[in-house]
Structure 1
Amino acid sequence: MITGDLICSLCCGNTRTEAACSECVFYQKPKRNYNEAPSYSVSDMDRNMGLESYGNSIEGALCAYDIENGGRLSDGNAIKIIELLIDKYHFQDQKIDEDNQIIVNGFNYVDEAIRQDLKDVATQEIVKVLGVIRFVAKRRTKTGREYMTVIHQYVGQRVGSGARLLQR
């Protein structure tokens, strides 16, 4: 709460809440630890065709969005889109907090694919698939588009519900 009074950093840290402190110039929203969100392992995904198809739907939508944007989607953009989807499906955020329009539009694009392709899939399953996709993307990226290159090559562009197109 802004009162104009001085407060020590320890007290500020112990009493800080978004509702009370969001107007303070020093307030920073806490960072989420996405590594603690539920996630399948890579081997779980490899052994289960159903889970693999869920991941293909999400990654295929990322590929399609990238193609629509002239191949300008960086791995960092893709990871941020996945994190925003985890915010929605796991942390139950009602609105996204992002200024970068390519990320906002990508979030909406992939979220629409999830609503179409995975409408009968439990939210917890979607969260776990998003978690492993984020893990793989972070592990794969080095300088900018390594993850995007791999999913374009092996997953392909989503062209409709359950349909993907591999480019040669």
Structure 2
Amino acid sequence: MAKCSICNSRKGKRKCLVSNTMICSPCCGESRNEDICLDCSYFQKPKRKYNEVPKFTTSEMSNNDQLSAYSNVIEGALCSYDIELEKSLQDNDAIAILEMLLDKYHFSDENIENKSPTLISGFNYIEKAIQKDLSDIDREILVKIIGVIRFVANRRTKTGREYMNIIHQFVGQRIDTGVRVLSNFSA
């Protein structure tokens, strides 16, 4: 087997579509370019580092009524969507929806892609609430709010619906602008 045409030290086991030569997998990974290598079977989109997205701290959120109100719009919409799904939305689904929102607002993706109709519908549901109630806030603030909500959801989840149960109990279902209903409220 021929040596890698880039490093000349390892065996070239992959045929590079760009150079039309054999290259090793480490060089393939290091020289990969999304614009050129998109059709290659070895190409994988780089994973996004959602943990590095700017976010408010939980204490900043709890000490600021305005930021809490903004987060209640998003979490209340998650509760409403969950009610539509007969409380079947899992924490990992909610986190995926929040990541899709970060794809749009932080990473500036124009097309949000996901294979799950449930997640796409959830993204559209939350996006509608954001457009209605939060369209006038600064994009950086919105990203930080979504970032902290995702952080809290990741921290709270263990096996399935711990985060969703918490927001149902403490945030409630968003009915309309400024209107939420707690599901276990008793008078």
TM-score, with normalisation over the residues of structure 1?
0.97
Letter of the 2:60 partner, please give it.
Answer: D
1:16 matched to 2:16:
no
- For residue 60 of structure 1, what is the amino acid of its counterpart? G
- Post-superposition CA distance 1:60-94 (Å, at most 9, x none): 00000000011111000000000010110000001
Which of 87, 103, 109 is the matching residue for 2:119? 103
**1:27 matched residue in structure 2:** 43
Structure ranking higher on relative contact order (CA contacts 8 Å, 6+ apart): 1
Letter matched to residue 31 of structure 1: K
Question: Amino acid of the residue matched to residue 163 of structure 1?
Answer: V
Q: 1:2 aligns with which of 17, 31, 53?
A: 17
Letter in 2 for 1:28: Q
**Could you say what secondary structure the match of 2:23 adopts?**
coil
Q: Distance in 1 between matches of 2:126 and 2:21?
A: 46
Task: Identify the residue that residue 123 of structure 1 maps to in structure 2.
Answer: 139
Question: Which of 146, 149, 155 is the matching residue for 2:165?
Answer: 149
Alignment of 1:33-44 (within 5 A): 33-44=49-60
| Residue type of the alignment partner of 1:64 | S
Shift of 1:2: 2.1
Q: Does 1:79 align with 2:98?
A: no
SS at match of 2:71: helix
Kindly report structure 1 stretches of 4+ aligned residues shifted beyond 4 Å: none
Counterpart-to-counterpart distance in 2, 1:50 and 1:72? 30
Amino acid in the other structure paired with 2:40: C
1:134 aligns with 150
CA distance in 2, matches of 1:43, 1:24: 46
Give, in whole Å, the separation in 2 of the partners of 1:64 and 1:101. Answer: 17
Deviates more, 1:32-41 or 1:6-15: 6-15
User: Unpaired runs of 5+ in structure 2?
Assistant: 1-15
Q: Would you tell me which structure has more helix in proportion to its own residues?
A: 1
Q: Which amino acid aligns with 1:80?
A: A
Count of residue correspondences: 168
TM norm structure 2: 0.87
Indicate the RMSD between aligned Cα atoms, in angstroms: 1.1
The residue type equivalent to 1:150 in the other structure is: I
The yes-or-no answer on 1:92 pairing with 2:108 is yes
SS at 1:159's partner residue?
strand
Percent identity reads 52
